[in-house]
Amino acid sequence: MNTHDEPKRSGAAKTWKRRLPAIAIVAAGLAIGIYPHLQARSALRQQTQSLAIPTVSVAYPQPSPGVQHIDLPAAVQAYQDVPIFARTNGYVGHWYVDIGTPVTAGQLLAVIDAPEVDAQLEQARGAAASALSDYQIAKITANRWQELLKTNSVSKQEAEQDVAIMNARHATLAAARADVERLGKMQSFERVYAPFAGIVSARNIDVGSLIDSGSSGGPKTEMFHLVETDKLRVFADVPQDYVRDAGVGTAATITLSQWPGRTFGGAVTRTAGAMDPVTRTQRTEIDMDNKDGALLPGAYAYVHLNAVNAQPRVSVPVSALLFRPDGVQVATVNAADRVSMQTVTLGRDFGTRIEVVSGLNGHERVIANPNDAIASGDAVHIAKGNGHA
């Protein structure tokens, strides 16, 4: 070992010992300055990642009302509404009812004088009596010739001729009797009766008025107009969207402006079974009792149908809807907090909520206010304390 190297190593060691505190101070300063910077950078990275996943509030579908109230304009009509015509020509001999008169089924309304029909009937009766006499004579002759034929007193041809004459006389008698029956019915039409119980809403005749039954090709004379008002038919046109829920048996309430505060009950009795291609509505009939005569045929009314939904439905907030080229969609959140877009079919509008006919089962978490850029597969955070809408 070189003795000259010992002082050099000893001096270097002393130099490092003098510099070591300074180096330590510098290292500590660097650590104190760099660590907060690194910590801030890590926090910023975490915050950026957190902000990249949006926080959303969710709403849960709610059951739609099981009964929907449909308000429609309606027309009140008589249960039966018929014009009464004569079946025979003549002149009015007498009338017994006037406008507004209640009548019972089978009640006599008027009598028509038809002398031509009466004369024809008498003539037909005389012809029938003559035909009966001719038939009786022919029958006696035929029977006599049949007896003589048994003893060969007459020829078979002569006996058969008499039988044929008897049959011809019988046919003539049958025709004469049929004519009497026809004219008898025509004569019975001289008395005009009410076909059902109701109210006479029009009288178009007076004593001496000429009555034309139209049998000669002329215009028929309407004598009376009769309506049945104890029971009424109320007609309303149900829009296409409600047809399935407003079928036969649906409860209905009828209101009229002249009866404020009063309602009349009924039910859907029958429907047209087809849509009007112009209005896209279905003609619906509601039968109702009108024993007290409060409602008049021809009146304007409102029908309130209490339609029961054919199947359960749900509703969501209107703000949850997204109108996309593929249709109306809502954004739902699955168990992994990922977005799933659902295409839905809309129903009734309740204002702040809207009915969903199809596309949701009612158990989804629906994003209440989704942004326009949201898409399936996006990660989201559910807002704390978020519950049912």
pLDDT in tens, 94-115: 999 999 999 999 999 999 998 8
Cβ 291 vs Cβ 265: under 8 Å: no
Helix (H) or strand (E) holding 32: helix 5-52
* % of the chain residues with pLDDT over 90: 31
**Average of pLDDT values for 211-227?**
85
**297 with 234, same domain?**
yes
347: three-class secondary structure by DSSP = strand
Residue 11's pLDDT is what?
Answer: 58
Please give the structure tokens belonging to residue 174: 């049958």
In a domain, 43, yes or no: no
Same domain (yes/no): 128, 202: yes
Residue 255 · residue 301 · CB < 8 Å: yes
Task: Tell me: do 107 and 176 sit in the same domain.
Answer: yes
Whether residues 130 and 238 share a domain: the answer is no
* 93, 155: one domain: yes
CATH number for the domain spanning 120: value is 1.10.287.470
Within-domain flag for 224: no
Arithmetic mean of pLDDT, 356-384: 86
Residues 245 and 153 in one domain: no
In a domain, 389, yes or no: no
Residue 354 · residue 304 · CB < 8 Å: no
Instruction: Give the model's confidence band at 389: pLDDT under 50 very low, under 70 low, under 90 confident, else very high.
Output: very low
In the listed set 308, 327, 343, which residue is the last one of a domain according to the structure?
308
The position carrying tokens 């049998």 is: 215
- Domain membership flag for residue 203: yes
Q: What distance separates the 2 farthest-apart alpha carbons in the chain?
A: 196
pLDDT bucket at 310, cuts 50 / 70 / 90:
low
Residues 132 and 176 in one domain: yes
Whole-prediction pTM value? Answer: 0.61
Q: Look-up: residue for tokens 């079946």? A: 87
What whole-number distance in Å separates Cα of residue 269 and Cα of residue 288?
9
Burial label, 33 (beta-carbon count in 10 A; 0-12, 13-18, 19+): exposed
Strands 327-333 and 365-367: antiparallel
| Identity at 243, one-letter amino acid code | V
Reported in sequence order, the residue ranges of 53-148 that DSSP labels E, i.e. its strands, are 55-56, 58-59, 62-63, 67-85, 90-95, 102-103, 108-113
Residues 147 and 252 in one domain: no
Q: How far apart, in whole angstroms, are the C-alpha atoms of residue 217 and residue 296?
A: 36
What are the φ/ψ torsions at residue 275 (nearest 5 degrees)? -90, 145
Could you tell me if 187 and 258 lie in one domain?
A: no
Question: Cα–Cα distance between 164 and 142 in angstroms, integer?
Answer: 8
Q: How many CB atoms lie within 10 A of CB 180?
A: 20
- pLDDT mean over 117-133: 89
Within a domain: 206: yes
- b/e sequence 323-333, b meaning 16+ C-beta within 10 Å: eeeeebbbbbb
Write the CA distances from 318 to 62, 65, 66, 312, 356, integer angstroms: 13, 17, 20, 19, 11
Distance between CA atoms of 189 and 192, rounded to whole angstroms? Answer: 6
Query: Does 60 fall in a domain?
Result: no
Looking up residue 357, the CATH number of its domain turns out to be 2.40.420.20
Determine, yes or no, domain membership for 55. no
Question: Residue with structure tokens 């029909």?
Answer: 117
pLDDT of residue 78: 94
* 181, two tokens: 């029956």
Task: Using DSSP, state whether 352 is helix, strand or coil.
Answer: coil
Distance of alpha carbon 288 from alpha carbon 230, whole angstroms = 9
When divided into structural domains, the chain yields a total of: 4
pLDDT above 60 (res 9): no
Question: The tokens 């004579």 sit on which residue?
Answer: 137
| Residues 8 and 98 reside in one and the same domain | no
Q: Which domain holds residue 263?
A: 229-308
The answer to whether residues 202 and 234 belong to one domain is no
Model pLDDT, residue 52: 66
